Amino acid sequence: MSGPPVEGVDLPALATAFGQRLRAAGVPVTPQRSARFVRALELIQPLRRSELYWSARTVFVSAQAQLPVFDRVFAAVFDPMLEPEEERGDPYSPPLSGSRAPELPPIPGARRATQERDSARPGAAAATGSVAGEGEAPEFEVPLATASEEERLHAKSFAEFEPDELARLRERVAAFELATPRRRARRRRRARRGEHLDLRRTLRWSLRAGGEPVALARRRRLTRGRRLVLLCDISGSMEAYARAYLHLLTSAIASGRSVEAFVFATRLTRLTRALRGRDPDAAIRRATAAAPDWSSGTRIGEALRTFNDRYGRRGMARGAVIVILSDGWERANPLLLGREMERLSRLAHRIVWVNPRLSAAGFAPETAGMLAALPHCDALVSGHSVEALDEVARAIGSADDDASWSPPAVARESEAPEWPSAERTEAQKPVPMPSGYGPKRGRTAG
């Protein structure tokens, strides 16, 4: 080329139009960057396409995810101005797709270069007629900026995760800090401005002053985080989410705090010891081997009864924050679930129910299991994605007066809705017998 490809062009107008096109496509462009691009063109005076490309890329691109969009907009704006034998600045950039070029000042020789390039390709006549009319520049389609891989996984539902994405999920979940509310402990420690007087230390100090209590020693009550108990549903309806929640349980146990982890489907299994260790993969393998009822039926009420009888009354649930990760699809009698949730609410400090179905459009807690459990919950949140886990962490760490969610009104036990799996079958219903032939006490089978 005899001169720069932008010779005879109003550089400020060109840079402004190019910056507006990039900003419309999703690249964050500021007026300062457009001004720097004008300054770069004046200093470099690019003679080749690669020089123009790298000048614009250095000024406008600030992240790797912006490169595909930048390449498409650059080709749509500057390709008609350049010679066809010029190479692309980045050989690894994705192929181009068309878009309407922005309105720019007329470029001398641009239409002639475009016609020569089109005539040199096979089938140029058909392509020219279908792409652009006579006297019009070719139209290109520039897609809007797409979300980065991190943003896509941040909002993607756990049910849609691939196996390789689940492996990467562990690092993201490990960054979550499940901090429970703090409570006052029974122990006291020395403090300069404590609320209690330490008589023993005060008397010991008074010996230095002839028995006069010149200085007063004080103590204050210690505070510590409440115990966190996680109960995860691993039944068939929760299989897609249980894989991701297992990473959450592993990171919570590895945090070193007072955390207990359980899983349940048809029975309750404690996984606190199995999930401990420095190798998260080995911990998950031990946890899956310890739960024999993986992807089976759901008996939430019986699992909670086992927890209350074996662990809750012994102090594990007393004053703790209980987190139940389940969709609430109870296969047994929901009245048992309601009674055990009432028992648990009298022991626990706070109960958080995490239901991944909450994110579905038009969701309403209408299943009998959820209706029986909601009156005893302090928060109902959705943990269907990494982004939704932020809400779970806030619900765990919030105080009682911070909860803005209130459970819906539920019918009393006598008015509870019918649950198909809890109804008696034909074989279980009592059979009327003739008078004098009814069942007697003791052994009735022949």
* pLDDT one-digit tens code per residue, 278-292: 787 788 888 888 888
Question: Comparing 147 with 194, which gets the higher pLDDT?
Answer: 194
The pLDDT value given to residue 374: 92
Residue 37 has pLDDT above 70, yes or no: yes
- How is residue 381 annotated by DSSP? E
Q: For residue range 198-215, what is the model confidence (pLDDT) as tens digits?
A: 888 888 888 888 888 888
Average pLDDT over residues 119-131: 43
The pLDDT value given to residue 148: 60
The amino acid occupying position 235 is: S
Average pLDDT over residues 309-313: 89
Q: For residue range 132-182, what is the model confidence (pLDDT) as tens digits?
A: 444 444 444 444 444 466 677 778 888 888 877 887 787 778 777 788 888
Question: Comparing 326 with 136, which gets the higher pLDDT?
Answer: 326
Residue 87 has pLDDT above 50, yes or no: no
Average pLDDT of every residue of the chain: 75
The pLDDT value given to residue 184: 79
Residue 264 has pLDDT above 70, yes or no: yes
Residue 334 has pLDDT above 80, yes or no: yes
Strands 218-225 and 182-191 turn out to be: antiparallel
Residues 269 and 263 sit within 8 Å (Cβ to Cβ): yes
Residue 381 has pLDDT above 60, yes or no: yes
Tell me the three state secondary structure of residue 175: coil
The pLDDT value given to residue 100: 42
For the domain covering 228-419, report its CATH number. 3.40.50.410
Residues 191 and 263 sit within 8 Å (Cβ to Cβ): no
**74, burial (CB in 10 Å: exposed 0-12, middle 13-18, buried 19+):** buried
The pLDDT value given to residue 149: 66
The tokens for 397 are 């760490």
Percentage of the chain exceeding pLDDT 90: 20
The amino acid occupying position 74 is: F
pLDDT band for position 367 (50/70/90)?
Answer: confident
Average pLDDT over residues 298-306: 93
Percentage of the chain exceeding pLDDT 70: 71
**Dist. CA 18–CA 443, nearest whole Å:** 92
In Å, what is the CA distance from 444 to each residue of 290, 358, 435?
A: 41, 50, 16
Average pLDDT over residues 356-374: 86
Average pLDDT over residues 65-79: 85
The tokens for 118 are 């089109």
Q: 67-81, 378-392, 410-424 — which is least confidently predicted?
A: 410-424
pLDDT band for position 102 (50/70/90)?
Answer: very low
The pLDDT value given to residue 38: 86
The tokens for 241 are 């989410």
The pLDDT value given to residue 90: 46
pLDDT band for position 426 (50/70/90)?
Answer: low
Domain ranges within the chain, ordered by starting residue: 11-131, 185-224, 228-419
Which of 9-13, 94-98, 234-238 has the largest mean confidence?
A: 234-238
Question: Comparing 198 with 430, which gets the higher pLDDT?
Answer: 198
Average pLDDT over residues 219-228: 86
Residue 21 has pLDDT above 50, yes or no: yes
The pLDDT value given to residue 302: 94
Residue 44 has pLDDT above 60, yes or no: yes
Residues 6 or more apart whose Cβ sits within 8 Å of residue 333:
301, 419, 422
Residue 318 has pLDDT above 50, yes or no: yes
Average pLDDT over residues 240-244: 87
Tell me the three state secondary structure of residue 407: coil
pLDDT band for position 416 (50/70/90)?
Answer: very low
Average pLDDT over residues 15-35: 85
